[in-house]
Amino acid sequence: MSSVGAGFRLARAGWVLVREGVIAALPGEELSGLPKFGWRLARLFTRRRALAYERSDRLAKAVVRLGPSYVKLGQFLATRPDVVGNDMALDLAMLQDKMHTFPKVEAVAAIEASLGRKVGDLYAEFGDPVAAASIAQVHAAEAIHDGAATKVAVKVIRPGVRRRFFQDLESYFLAAHLQEKYIPSSRRLRPVEVTETLAQTTKIEMDLRLEAAALSELGENTKDDPGFRVPSVDWERTGRDVLTMEWVDGVKMNNIAGLEEAGHDLKAIAANLIQSFLRHTLRDGFFHADMHPGNLFVEANGTIVAVDLGIAGRLGKKERRFLAEILYGFITRDYLRVAEVHFEAGYVPRQHNVAAFAQAIRAIGEPIHGQPAETISMAKLLTLLFEVTELFDMATRPELILLQKTMVVVEGVARTLDPAFNMWKTAEPVVGGWIAGNLGPRSMMIDARDGAKALLTLARQAPELAARTDRLSREIDLMAEHGLRFDETTARAIGKAEARYSRSGRVALWVIALTLVYIAWKIL
């Protein structure tokens, strides 16, 4: 019945997308056969008033009708232009995570259930909601710290949101499995794996203790950084469903007029934002991955305060080094080195030719060197680079896609503050300093030290590895002699699982088909 329910929810979502004109706004003229017929049919069922809206507005209206889980789905897919295309990714990135508030009494109940204490014991004053998103809403409150009342922001999970999300996730998984099964060309994009990533991201975002931990980690990383910080966390008043943090007094970065009235230097703020982001990415390997202007405040002294750290990105030491070498290679026009880095990182399969890949990269880099520095976009460079790597079968790299998406957003914010913003000049102190410290002799010494530690660890594990190798060798000899065998219980379980999967897929397809037929009959 779970598959049947997921099928109905999927059919409803498809119908809403049709009625709001989202399907009709796609470039269907380029299609052929059955997909083009479906696109033309969708145009017939589109609401007349929807045709007057832009595609991004149609998408926003459809998502509002579908509910909060589809807002998160849209925002997640905005980070995956490799899946939905660049144009659609830009439209999805414009989705505003703003929802209706829920009653204060429900927020109080959620806090007391999560923390096991009365709200009156936790807060000297607990106010009405001041902002609401798809997963949670924020209340202004006062807490007693060291005998004094301190203003705090209290983020509370939306009631019933987990159940709704997990129900809709069933529909997403059904769509992903059907796509992989019936559209072979889409398997390269790994739709099931993409959905699993969404599910994991959502689970993390709906546990506010993990967001508190991310704020704490970023706060420690940036405690000595000039002009950037995150709110401090009140751990005593934080649980799975509630996060209490420092109240931020400042002007939102999307309020340009307000920033100017407060006397802030917009060019300095733009430079500080980019340098802070690159510092977090290259130095720490941990960055705020949702830095849209609504999540950024500027305090009276010009310090940037980033809030809402539900989505964070990580880059390992190896990925940071490759990113820096790629950027440096473009700056110095060493395209062969950029290509070699991709192969060394394992981003491009070995069967491809390094020189041919370097030629493709040159096609990106040369036009850039003919432009004024202030017009060159690092985010656009990364976008073009990922487009080229698709031609060379580069597998999806979620950590790089998230970095690319955040880079696009952050650079866009900087250019809003300063239209003549010079990305390369601003980034040079951070990128150049990191390269000097991590790709020179000092880096070789650090690598040698890490290698020695790895060898020592391996030597300590040698007896255990030898015993495992001996056991594995004996098991392989037995398999070679007698063949691979399943016991009767395992064989029956495999058969039942296969039959259940096939049956649920067929049921879901029939449910979707009958639902669409019924809708068409009611309209006609």
Annotated catalytic residues are 290
How far is CA 35 from its chain centroid? 29
80, two tokens: 């995956």
Candidates 166, 196, 199, 168; CA nearest to 180 is 196
Beta carbons of 365 and 335 less than 8 angstroms apart = yes
Q: Which helix (H) or strand (E) holds 145?
A: strand 136-145
CA angle in degrees (0–180, nearest 5) for 390-396-400? 100
Q: Residue 188's CB: how many other CB atoms inside 10 A?
A: 12
Q: Residue 456's CB: how many other CB atoms inside 10 A?
A: 10
* CA–CA distance, 413 with 401 (Å, rounded to integer): 19
* CA–CA distance, 70 with 60 (Å, rounded to integer): 10
* Angle between helices 55-66 and 2-19 in degrees, nearest 10: 150
Candidates 191, 201, 232; CA nearest to 215 is 232
Query: Quick check: helix, strand or coil at residue 156?
Result: strand
Distances (CA, A) of 493 to 487, 488, 496, 505, 522: 10, 9, 5, 18, 43
Helix ranges, 28-160 (H): 33-45, 55-66, 68-77, 81-84, 86-93, 104-115, 119-122
DSSP string, 340-362: HHHHHHT-S-TTS-HHHHHHHHH
Candidates 297, 144, 133; CA nearest to 230 is 297
C-alpha gyration radius of the chain: 26
Strand partners, 229: 305
* CA–CA distance, 239 with 244 (Å, rounded to integer): 9
The residue whose two tokens read 């980034």 is 427
